[in-house]
Amino acid sequence: QQLINDASLKILAETIGRAFERKQQQEDLLRTIQQLEQTFHSTISTIGRVIEMKDHSTYGHQNRVAQLCLAIAKKMKLSDSAREAVYNTALVHDLGKLYIPSEILIKPQSLSAIEYNIVKQHSRFGYEVLRNVRFPWPVAEIVLQHHERI
């Protein structure tokens, strides 16, 4: 009788021990996911700031567009994931401007037709940079199409 009780207690103790280990692993995984999300958001935000450093004349543009897009997404009652996609994509939508010569971006006069055509390519340049990044949303395609007139 005592052997059964001791064996039962041992099994129970091992089961509880494994449950605590799994709980700790789950907590560790959750912390890692939260850290990755923070890294992702700070990376996206940093990209937006880098774009603005290249084109001082549009300082704050990335953030204003992101806030506006988020407000529209909320009005449309989009899912949280769709809202996050819209917001984060808006923060990097002008990434392709990094490929536009600064002389064109900061030119105080009107742009020539050739210069304007170069600026119009920033959507394609942004797409080329982002197309191989595995986002949970179609970020590269949105960046590519952000000046489309439907």
Q: Catalytic residue numbers?
A: 97
Contact criterion met (CB below 8 Å) for 25 and 69: no
Phi, then psi, of 111 in degrees rounded to 5 = -80, 145
| Amino acid at residue number 66 | A
Contact criterion met (CB below 8 Å) for 47 and 95: yes
Contact criterion met (CB below 8 Å) for 127 and 144: yes
